Chain A
């Protein structure tokens, strides 16, 4: 079985919802749609207060090259445009829509499934861009940008990331089981955009045999390889996935392009199918609601902009012992600071947990056990990075591979002294970039 070659951990999988079918969540009473649901510049709002919008209508326009369109998730009236908490931890300009209940599609959208081969490359790329599709694994890089690599980079492999190595999350898993055909077609569409024919591979962790079987059925006739990967975190991290499937190593400062690879998420492939064949922009996504402190754990399909409170109501209730609500997975997600935050394009899950290790003084002295070095998938020395960050040596820290850290969290997970290694690294990254900004200013 294939896997990446350095480090990795085996956290308890806790995938409670692997067998529960995706439930469609009813339309909430209000939708809050943030303008930055992607990497890059936030979209520009192009609607005004009290405007009537239709489902799928463009309400935020991509602003610049690395940016993405944002659409109304249902038909209704614009209630407010203001700054609002975002699941990423910050505030963001957000458009509030009061649904009119009709859920009417805007003209020309949601057509009968068409054969994508009718469209030219430019048409497909434009459809993907117009639909506002971004990487749905968590980073949210605009997909159309990712699919137009610089001409000097020769791409020979497209990898679809079905590893879903984060504990608890099963959204991609269910999508692979229930919409295997759409996922495979979405992948074909993406591959067709590249100048030369490429190798296609779908990487799935071996703990999802039903997903592998479902994909095989559609993938085999189309020469797409479904690769069973060892269940090990962070198997689904871009660099580790490339290493596991192709054996290539993406070095510091390099992008997957440089090694001839493009990695796309399962959800992204399904969204590409919807956009190209059915003219449906990205207005809903599948996510996992789980954790020990929610009564009904589910996989749900929710509209972008659905508030976390509505989701809690839909999934029973959360217990009083909850002390953290996490947007994303437990290894790389964000603890939200307000329950007002909405679901965005990159929300792969919502977890309700009672984190017992929370304590201001939880960090203790390093006993040099070397576990962090052992598990680091990037071959770094996290303890050294954290110590250097604590000493505020921000020139020194760049020499020992700060930029190479992918913040997977494996080191913090294993540290017996409870040190917040990733957080220190993140802190150093923030200060290094702020110093650079000031220097150039």
Chain B
């Protein structure tokens, strides 16, 4: 008994086993089906892209920590997830040096410039994707065809929709193929099924809530359905929008990023609605065929405003109460 040295801390004395690591690696685990699927579809180049992105992200994280004289956080999983998401957002035939540049943008410019994990305003992987998209548009929009041995490339269904109209786009794609994933696109976008399986895991572990993904998907569906009804020859059906492009990846894994989404439920609903509407608007009338990344990044910028609105609401409730007294 005398050998016991008492230690004092404040209650509670029990904690969940959750940690930053467990959250991040569970997200990585949830992305595993989509990653495996993309390697199955696009072969070894996809594996290479994934490994390069993850390794370079972790490397830049370590470098930035060292420069900023912060305790090393490169293995806490956040850089791992950023790298994985970046890999899933690019075509599998992207040159290696572009991947490294993308990783640098994600970790250094989008994350550590703002103060590192927890302080970044924009989703690092999306910033990197958009940076690559506007810098190297040709490389970023020639998508490899699944199962092709000689790296044959083609436009994605959304690209066809933009250039050749609804009919051609619908012809290029069987909706069920879109769902299972054998269509042209970036590594992680193709298989809705694999992504949904991963998202189900995150819901089960309660790392994401239903509010953002469902309002986002719902608003895209609703918006595109309205215009499809008005003019079916000019606007693609809603289900086409649902399975093509990065909508499912974006809605379940990018928009729900904890750091860059609002904390309150109604904030999340507004955020999801905004993401969905912007996505639909960009897809229907924008210059780019795909709008998910831009939509989420724009709404990321609104998160402080949404959170502040929630904060003011709390204060207003308090003030009303004290007036009553």
Q: Do A and B bind each other?
A: yes
Q: Judge whether A330 and B14 touch: CB under 8 Å.
A: yes
Q: Judge whether A414 and B18 touch: CB under 8 Å.
A: yes
**A318, B2: Cα distance in complex, Å:** 10
A412 interfacial contact with B, CB 8 Å: yes
User: How far, in Å, is A34 (CB) from chain B's closest CB?
Assistant: 19
Please judge, given known A-B contacts A253-B321, A312-B1, A369-B258, whether A422 and B12 are in contact too, CB under 8 Å: yes
Nearest residue, chain A, Cβ from B21: A416
What chain A residues lie within 8 Å of B259 (beta carbons)? 367-368
What chain A residues lie within 8 Å of B13 (beta carbons)? 324, 326, 330-331, 333, 335, 351, 353, 355
Q: Judge whether B6 and A413 touch: CB under 8 Å.
A: no
Q: Judge whether B258 and A367 touch: CB under 8 Å.
A: yes
Please judge, given known A-B contacts A322-B4, A370-B263, whether A420 and B258 are in contact too, CB under 8 Å: no
B22 interfacial contact with A, CB 8 Å: yes
Chain B interface mostly helix, strand, loop or mixed? loop
**A312, B4: Cα distance in complex, Å:** 13
Encoded as 1 (CB less than 8 Å from any A CB) or 0, chain B from 117 to 150 comes to 1110000000000000000000000000000000
What chain B residues lie within 8 Å of A412 (beta carbons)? 11-12, 15
A50 interfacial contact with B, CB 8 Å: no
Q: Which of B3, B14, B23, B258 has the most CB of A within 10 A?
A: B14
Nearest residue, chain A, Cβ from B4: A322
**A318, B209: Cα distance in complex, Å:** 43
Q: Judge whether B314 and A400 touch: CB under 8 Å.
A: yes
Across the interface, A358 reaches (CB within 8 A) one of B1, B9, B19, B321, namely B9
What chain B residues lie within 8 Å of A381 (beta carbons)? 263-264, 310-311, 314
What chain B residues lie within 8 Å of A312 (beta carbons)? 1
Nearest residue, chain B, Cβ from A351: B13
A338 interfacial contact with B, CB 8 Å: yes
Across the interface, B14 reaches (CB within 8 A) one of A167, A358, A399, A416, namely A167
**A251, B118: Cα distance in complex, Å:** 32
Q: Judge whether B20 and A416 touch: CB under 8 Å.
A: yes
Encoded as 1 (CB less than 8 Å from any B CB) or 0, chain A from 407 to 432 comes to 10100111111101011001000000
Q: Judge whether A384 and B12 touch: CB under 8 Å.
A: no
Compute the total of residue contacts between A and B using a CB distance below 8 Å: 143
B5 interfacial contact with A, CB 8 Å: yes
What chain A residues lie within 8 Å of B119 (beta carbons)? 365
What chain B residues lie within 8 Å of A351 (beta carbons)? 13
**A318, B1: Cα distance in complex, Å:** 7
A336 interfacial contact with B, CB 8 Å: yes
Q: Judge whether A417 and B14 touch: CB under 8 Å.
A: no
**A326, B118: Cα distance in complex, Å:** 33
How many residues of chain A have a CB within 8 Å of chain B?
A: 62
Q: Judge whether B11 and A422 touch: CB under 8 Å.
A: yes
User: How far, in Å, is A6 (CB) from chain B's closest CB?
Assistant: 11
User: How far, in Å, is B3 (CB) from chain A's closest CB?
Assistant: 5
Nearest residue, chain B, Cβ from A383: B263
Q: Judge whether B118 and A333 touch: CB under 8 Å.
A: no
Encoded as 1 (CB less than 8 Å from any B CB) or 0, chain A from 1 to 38 comes to 00000000001100000000000000000000000000
**A274, B145: Cα distance in complex, Å:** 83
Across the interface, A369 reaches (CB within 8 A) one of B9, B12, B23, B264, namely B23
B7 interfacial contact with A, CB 8 Å: yes
What chain B residues lie within 8 Å of A338 (beta carbons)? 6
Q: Judge whether B325 and A373 touch: CB under 8 Å.
A: no
A252 interfacial contact with B, CB 8 Å: yes
A337 interfacial contact with B, CB 8 Å: yes
A–B pairs, 29, beta carbons within 8 Å:
A252-B318, A252-B321, A253-B321, A309-B1, A320-B3, A324-B6, A324-B9, A324-B13, A335-B7, A335-B11, A336-B6, A337-B8, A339-B4, A357-B15, A365-B117, A368-B118, A368-B259, A373-B264, A381-B264, A381-B310, A381-B311, A384-B311, A400-B315, A401-B314, A413-B15, A416-B16, A416-B23, A420-B9, A422-B12
Beyond A365-B116, A417-B19, A418-B15, 10 additional pairs, beta carbon < 8 A: A11-B14, A324-B8, A337-B6, A353-B13, A355-B9, A358-B7, A370-B209, A381-B314, A413-B15, A416-B19
A interface vs B, CB < 8 Å? 11-12, 89, 167, 251-253, 309, 312, 317-318, 320, 322-326, 328, 330-339, 351, 353, 355, 357-358, 364-371, 373, 381, 383-384, 398-401, 407, 409, 412-418, 420, 422-423, 426
Q: Which 7 A-B pairs have the closest CB atoms?
A: A409-B12, A423-B10, A365-B118, A416-B18, A369-B258, A331-B12, A370-B263
